[in-house]
Chain A
């Protein structure tokens, strides 16, 4: 055995002994169980945003002028996850957890109904969501594009699993990074117009402008109609236009309002989010990766998805 190899082994053993935090083996054996709220992170990776009660009532400095830059977490109690559809129009008859749902062909009876055109209603019925909603079906009967790891698209990335986003400003763009499924968007601020007859994109074509010193409004078109608007299977057409209104309330807090304009599918515009709170994270916050990969989904379906199906529906 060469001296170098002996030295490497000694160094490795020493490292494992004195540094349990970085040792997968010793760390797992020696780390005591952590209690809630004890997640102090010595390392700067895969950070976990604080929950709302941890900063509620904390005084914030005033908002900077015309500045959205920073890392923003969906600050609502349950995150921005909206498992039963866009937050302002959840596809439920009673508030979450208060009743049995599922199996309806349409959204009759939901708390805040959407107004569909005949084509919109037809498109809604063709989308079969497996999420907890009035139209929930068992996952084997669902046709949610996300079940195949197809792109989440915009605006579903804000109306479903909105978690942490990062916004950066350059001279002529706002760069929008969304941690959920690893999405990015470019919002042009150079004064260009939206495209007239665009090739469809999953995340669309976006332009933005400041309407006052603390409110940035983004318009997005050219969205691929194969994506859903939310987890309840709300459809959209290629004519969809989405308005996002980012209003910076103060230094640490921002509100996001998302409005859907799609006259082909809905007889009137509707809000998916209304002043939804986003909370600023420290500048060194490291967003964890959350990517949908077909190879992982295949394994999941083998281990679980196909095993929990009612026996009459096994694939």
Chain B
């Protein structure tokens, strides 16, 4: 039991030590900021609310199984500052979104810093580059 506790404590310490600062106030430390992945699929839902805008899409894994992805942006006001609106995505859109993956490997990804002056992650909607 003690050994198990030691292992868990060590894991927690490592986890805390590798937390990287990003501009996000809700658990940005949960994403691997050093990596960018491309999430590809069909939009199923677009949630335009606080604290952060979410794009849900269905993609495929390497074996062809459906994977339900969630891509997290920032709050609607910050998104409006880079020309997003509540109509930017609609169910059925075919999209490709570059984003940072969740550290735990779940199908969740994050756009990171959003501001008029920050570089923007590549997004393609129905074959046209949006940003």
Contacts and interface: CB of A to CB of B under 8 A. Distances in A.
Interface of A is mostly: loop
Contacts of A179: 77
A310 interface: yes
Contacts of B66: none
B37 interface: no
Interface string A92-136: 100011001111000000000000000000000000001111001
A231 B103 CA distance: 23
A311 B105 CA distance: 10
B50 A309 contact: no
A308 B23 contact: no
Interface residues of B, number: 54
Given A102-B17, A139-B29, A303-B56, A290 B75 contact: yes
A296 B45 CA distance: 15
Contact of A291 (B23, B50, B88): B50
B70 A132 contact: no
Interface stretch (A33-41, A187-195, A256-264, A276-284): A33-41
A281 to B, nearest CB: 14
Contact of A310 (B15, B28, B117): B15
Contacts of A46: 77, 80
A300 B54 contact: yes
A312 interface: yes
Nearest to B88: A28
Given A102-B29, A300-B54, A28 B90 contact: yes
A307 B70 contact: yes
A79 B51 contact: no
A140 B23 CA distance: 18
Nearest to A291: B50
Interface of A: 24-25, 27-28, 33-34, 36-39, 46, 48, 51, 53, 77-79, 81, 83-84, 92, 96-97, 100-103, 130-133, 136-140, 144, 146-147, 161, 163, 179, 231, 288-293, 296-297, 299-300, 303-305, 307-312
Given A136-B19, A138-B19, A300-B49, 11 more contacts: A37-B116, A78-B115, A92-B21, A100-B17, A102-B20, A103-B19, A139-B29, A139-B30, A144-B25, A303-B70, A304-B72
27 contacts: A25-B87, A28-B87, A33-B128, A36-B120, A37-B116, A38-B83, A48-B116, A51-B117, A78-B23, A83-B25, A96-B21, A100-B17, A100-B18, A102-B19, A102-B20, A103-B19, A131-B25, A132-B21, A132-B24, A136-B19, A293-B50, A296-B49, A300-B52, A304-B26, A307-B102, A310-B30, A310-B104
Interface of B: 8, 11, 13, 15-31, 47, 49-52, 54, 56, 70, 72, 75-77, 80-83, 85-88, 90, 102-104, 106, 108, 115-117, 120, 128-131
